[in-house]
Amino acid sequence: MAGPTPSSPQSFARILQTCDNFRLNLTDPAAEHLVTWRLISDPESPAIGLLRPPIVQQLLHEIEGTKDGSAWEVQDHDGKQVISFASHVNTSAARSRVMKELCERWRDEGLWSDVVGPKKWRGEMYPIYRNPFGPHDAPSEAEEFATAATVGSTSAVQDSEDRRNYAFMMERAACALFGVVTYGVHMTVYEEDPDELGLPKSCRMWIPTRSKSKQTWPRWLDNSVAGGIPSGLGAFESLVKESMEEASIEEAIVRRHARTVGSVSYFFKTPLGWLQPEVEYVYDLRIPPGVDPTPFRPKPLDGEVEAFELLPLEDVITRMRSGLFKPNTALVILDFMIRHGYMTVENEPDYQEIVTRLHGRFEYDQW
């Protein structure tokens, strides 16, 4: 499959706009009508997603038809339509089972095959949280359903779950259909040369080309290590896992040298119109000067990467301006440039706009 086509040079602000390209507009009559997906029908229940009209119509069909529509409810809150799980679907395991059955059936029926068809299916469960900015306390898929099979009363389970941020889990590929917040990790493996004062004067990054067989963004340029956070795995543990699987970087190297340096968050509307609010936890791994760099050098392992290149930051920027990087990876590189002083208010006219938009909240208070 073909990769990206180089574009004419873009500004950093335009690169940011490519990924952070959606704003919720409830007052524009021309805007697509979005329906809030709440955990339960109570108006005070957490909003967990934003549903586009095709998904709303399909869920209404599920409710009205012969399929398992009893799992869903539609309410009117102050003239605003809201969809939620039915009141009896009141545990995380029950909600996870509903979503598993629904998404697998849509896949098998050929609905939205460009998103959840067999070629796009990931077979990986993502956690959904009551508060997308709250703690990550999701169990693994095995723990979720094993617990559900052994616990006692539903009320006891519900009481326990009300104290957790975790709400349920669902297929990774389907998250965009439901407009839920998802999470990932990105790590930059780099070398940096200091000047006579010890300040960085030049930088080189290890940049992979994604495999042509990837379900998403094949042959685009990416960050040294990147991946989603599946249910039951923390951010750093996901990084350790992805570092070995994608880049052959040993666990001991990551645990000793990787540094957590923050996060970026953005609201992405896909070319097909689906909504993907995402949070990426960001890490740096600087190859220490004066040591054998061999153990730090990433190498393809699981087939998700075609090759790695060690590129000067100037070349990275040139390729980024040409639109060759996966959009959210470009945001992580912009964040790197700001943190390391390569982008400043003196040399970038859109500096404050970029800094602010790298840490968005998805207009969550309006959901």
- The 10s digit of each residue's pLDDT in 128-141 is 999 999 999 999 99
Kindly report, residue by residue over 232-269, the tens digit of the pLDDT: 999 999 999 999 999 999 999 999 999 999 999 999 99
> Between the CA of residue 20 and those of 50, 352, 356, what are the distances in Å?
16, 15, 11
How many other C-beta atoms can be found within 10 angstroms of the C-beta atom of residue 122? 16
Question: Dihedral of CA 213/214/219/225: which sign?
Answer: negative
Cα angle 113, 116, 119 (rounded to 5 degrees) comes to 75
Distance CA 279, CA 328 (A): 10
CB contact at 8 A, 289 and 201: no
DSSP string for residues in 291-327:
S--GGGS----SSSEEEEEEEEHHHHHHHHHTT-B-H
Domains of the chain: 12-19+183-366 (3.90.79.10), 35-178 (3.30.750.160)
- Give tens-digit pLDDT for 167-198: 999 999 999 999 999 999 999 999 998 777 77
Of 12, 9, 31, 3, the closest CA to residue 363 belongs to 31
Angstrom distance (rounded) from CA 346 to CA 367: 37
For the segment 98-114, the average pLDDT, to the nearest whole number, is 97
pTM: 0.93
Q: What pLDDT is recorded for position 120? A: 95
Name the 3-class secondary structure at 159: helix
Q: Judge whether 193 and 202 are in contact, CB under 8 Å.
A: yes
Q: How far apart are CA 267 and CA 315, in angstroms?
A: 27
Give the pLDDT confidence score for residue 176 in this predicted structure.
97
Q: Give the pLDDT score at 160.
A: 61
Nearest-5° Cα angle at 315, 205 to 355: 70
- pLDDT band at 2; cut points 50, 70, 90: confident
The residue among 367 and 66 whose pLDDT is bigger is 367
pLDDT digits over 121-175, tens only? 999 999 999 999 999 999 999 999 886 555 555 555 555 666 899 999 999 999 9
